[in-house]
Chain A
Amino acid sequence: MSVSAVVTMILVLALTWGAFGVALALAARGERRRGKGAERDDGPTPR
């Protein structure tokens, strides 16, 4: 494979699989935050 094809492959994989992975990680972070929020909401409310 030519050098330019290898470089393009790495760039394309970063922009597709890499970006997909980052987006999934952000979604997971959002879920964790949501879970913590729900725990706080469900806890006993001090009066």
Chain B
Amino acid sequence: MAASRSDGNFSSRWGLILAALGMAIGAGNIWRFPRVAARNGGGAFLVPWLLFTLLWSVPLLMVEFGLGKATRRGPVGAFASLLGRRFAWMGAFVAACTAFIMFYYSVVTGWSAAYFVRSILDFGTLSGSPRSHWAAVTSGSWEAVVFHGLAAGGSALLLARGAAVAIERVCKVLVPLLVALLAAAVLRGLTLPGGVLGLEFLFHVDWGKLSEGRTWLEALSQSAWSTGAGWGLMLTYGAYSRRDEDVGLNSLVTALGDNSASILAAMATLPAIFALSGSVQEAMAVTGADNTGMAFVWMPRLFARMPGQGAVFAAFFFAALTAASLSSLLAMMEMAAKVLVDLGVPRRKALAGVASATFLFGLPSALSLQVFQNQDWVWGLGLLLSGAFVAFAAARYGAGRFREQWINGPGADWRVGRWFDFVVTVAVPVEFLVLLGWWFHQSVTEYSAGRWWDVTAPYSVATCLAQWGLLIAGLLAANRFLAPRKGAAAGSNGSAGEAP
């Protein structure tokens, strides 16, 4: 039976799935996946990428969803309910890590929206000298601040109309819109002369790349960051799900939907890049740029080469980027608000607080690209630790027990087997250690060579450890105040939490 709209839960399974897809599909599907896939062996890269969907993303999404469904609380309350109050700090780290990402993600959403507006009203400025325009936007411009404020404030206003109900309503528009925009871009890109070269670049198979550790680590990183596993977002949506909602199949649908969107985005962007680049070398330079460089510098430059159509194509691209970012930002803001609501803060005040904090703490990233890059580095890697904490929660409770109680319980359409126990107790911890070690190695040898110990260097190991350390120390000190008191309402859906 579908839950009624008045209780704050998702109205149906389809509403939940659309919201989960909106959460998972973000800017990374559009500006990261196509570049990383194409540069790491094309078709060969997709093998480990698909494998890690099952060895990281799906099991962690299941744990999160099961935790939320069981406890009806956000990450802090869920960890405290499942493992005891002394583990509340661990759930708080998951929530805080995502909140730190939310601060600068609002800036990304603002940039995308600003570029969308400029594509329509003032494409000449955007395409005339994209690099200097991007430099101006990211060095203290009013435009970045205003659109960042609009993204944070607008998201809070959308969420004020109800938790799951509002997210569901917005995602029913944003997700189909995003798919339609990307599908249109695929068709247009492939009909441009030379566009098919982009598909060749994406799907060529360089099997030799499979023998390189980097390919596997890039694939794992992409899967870990893209699906939203370990962010505490699926956990929050689980708290708004029906009590007899399926966990395993819905988690699988979310991860596969995210993968499908990544492939669609790659089929939309790479043909356009190859068709509009002057040479293969230039196309390689575009895919070799970083996320923001590709989206905000290279793409406007390429669109300018389409006489009469550049503004339209640019508007499509930035509309898709805005839709993808906004649907993920909504999930992050809802997660943060849910943590406060669990502590007894009224929902509207919680949303106002989250929006204000997002605007204030996102300002440094809006005003300085270096701060943005530092925060993206620190909290992007922090998500790996969050994922490990989520796996730890299930492992400590007993992976098999968790699986039988909260994944294969009432309403399960897919009975998950023992492979899940192995993944959360062995595979995820190993993947976490290897991945973190590799990224730190990259910092020492490449990103912050010679300055890895310097806390002020944007991509150093030291800045990462220092910021994580400060956060964990603060959370441990405040642990007794973090967990919702016994008997406190579990959230805006008004249902009491179950102590598993």
Contacts and interface: CB of A to CB of B under 8 A. Distances in A.
Contacts of A2: 200, 204
Contact of B200 (A5, A11, A19, A33): A5
Q: Report the contact-size class of chain B (Cβ under 8 Å from the partner).
A: 20 to 34
Contacts of B249: 23, 26-27, 30
Contacts of B260: 16-17, 20
Interface in A1-47: 1-2, 4-6, 8-9, 11-13, 15-17, 19-20, 23-24, 26-27, 29-31, 33-34, 38
Interface SS of B by simple majority: helix
Nearest to A42: B1
Contacts of A27: 13, 17, 246, 249-250, 253, 413
B234 to A, nearest CB: 16
Contact of B253 (A5, A20, A34): A20
B266 to A, nearest CB: 10
B61 to A, nearest CB: 13
B252 interface: yes
B263 interface: yes
B246 A23 contact: no
Contacts of A20: 253, 256-257, 259-260
Given A8-B204, A20-B253, 17 more contacts: A1-B196, A1-B200, A5-B43, A8-B42, A13-B263, A16-B260, A16-B263, A17-B260, A23-B249, A23-B253, A26-B249, A26-B413, A26-B414, A27-B17, A27-B250, A30-B413, A34-B1
27 contacts: A4-B43, A4-B204, A5-B42, A5-B43, A5-B203, A5-B205, A6-B203, A8-B46, A8-B203, A9-B43, A9-B202, A9-B203, A16-B50, A16-B263, A19-B256, A20-B253, A23-B253, A23-B256, A24-B253, A27-B249, A27-B250, A27-B253, A29-B413, A31-B13, A33-B413, A34-B244, A34-B411
Interface of A: 1-2, 4-6, 8-9, 11-13, 15-17, 19-20, 23-24, 26-27, 29-31, 33-34, 38
